[in-house]
Amino acid sequence: MNKFDLKNKTAIITGGAQGFGLDIAKKFLDYGAKVRLWDIDEKELKKVKNKINNLNLEIDVVDVANYKVVIDTVDTISKSSKIDILINNAGITGPTAELWNYNVDDWKKIIDINLHGTFYCCKAVAPLMIKNNYGRIVNIASVSGKDGNANASAYSSAKAGVIGLTKSLGKELAQYNIAVNAVTPAGAKTRILDQMSKEHVQRMLSKVPRGRFLEVQELSSLVSWLSSEENSFSTASVFDISGGRSTY
């Protein structure tokens, strides 16, 4: 496996207590970065902190859907550290149902966490990156944001919004040596699948030409490159990692 030099870089990874976020954190630590894991689940964060036991790992209990908590946490971090990398990974799929049967409160919660949370984190961190004339932002979107998944209109809409946000912000920050990109994974073997019905999971898998789910380390490898100085030109772009489900 390739290794990327992230020494002297500080990264914030949201939704970092499990799944994609945790695997990305492990890679970043291995590559020499200082990592701050954000998650709403304090118990899981503490478990991760104790298990990894690395001086370069810090944890913050953050609800990304609460802008005040996000900006206050960023302000605290900025007093003692720069922020070089932001990985917007926090997200939920929510229940599966036809749009006309979708619960309004569930819809709002999914949009708040997946889309508004990404916006809040980018809004809070971007000025610091502009000041330093350097930054790497990677937004974890989804193939469903490109294709749309039946019975997952809220999640698909939120992730489509993340893609649009990425394209806009990438253009706005390009002159400051800040790369903003999105990745669009297909389904992966993480706990997020537990939120979906078995029928929905099987329908997702049937669309992937590779015939299997994404492995978390495959996504974290792509994110690592996008977060490194080696990614010196690509920005405002969407990197597909769907096993052939989407070809654009």
Average pLDDT rounded to a whole number, residues 14-35: 97
* Other Cβ atoms closer than 10 A to 230: 12
Q: What is the pLDDT of residue 190?
A: 65
pLDDT at 195: 61
Secondary structure letter of residue 214 according to DSSP: B
Task: List, for residues 86-107, the tens digit of each pLDDT value.
Answer: 999 999 999 999 999 999 999 9
Helix axes 42-52, 19-30, angle to 10 degrees: 30
Domain boundaries, the chain: 10-241
What mean pLDDT do residues 105-129 have?
98
Selection from 210, 197, 216 nearest residue 89 by Cα:
216
Q: What is the Cα–Cα distance from 220 to 215, expressed in whole angstroms?
A: 9
CA–CA separation, 173 and 180 (whole Å):
8
With a pLDDT cut of 90, the percent of the chain lying above it is 83
Residue pair 217/128 in contact by the 8 Å Cβ criterion? no
Q: What percent of the chain has pLDDT over 70?
A: 95
Q: How far is CA 179 from CA 77, 113, 171, 222, 228, in A?
A: 21, 23, 9, 14, 10
Task: Assign 86 to helix, strand or coil.
Answer: strand
* 31 annotated active-site: no
88 and 120 in contact (C-beta within 8 Å)? Answer: no
Average pLDDT (100-119) is 98
Where is pLDDT greater, at 3 or 235? 235
Query: What's the confidence (pLDDT) of residue 192?
Result: 61
Q: How far apart are CA 100 and CA 3, in angstroms?
A: 47
Pick the CATH number of 10-241 from 3.20.20.80, 3.90.190.20, 3.40.50.720, 3.30.420.10: 3.40.50.720
Q: Which residue has the tokens 């390009």?
A: 174
| Mean pLDDT within 41-70 | 98
**Token pair of 244 as six digits:** 């052939």
Which of the following is catalytic: 120, 155, 176, 248?
Answer: 155
Angle, CA of 162, 86 and 73, to the nearest 5°:
105
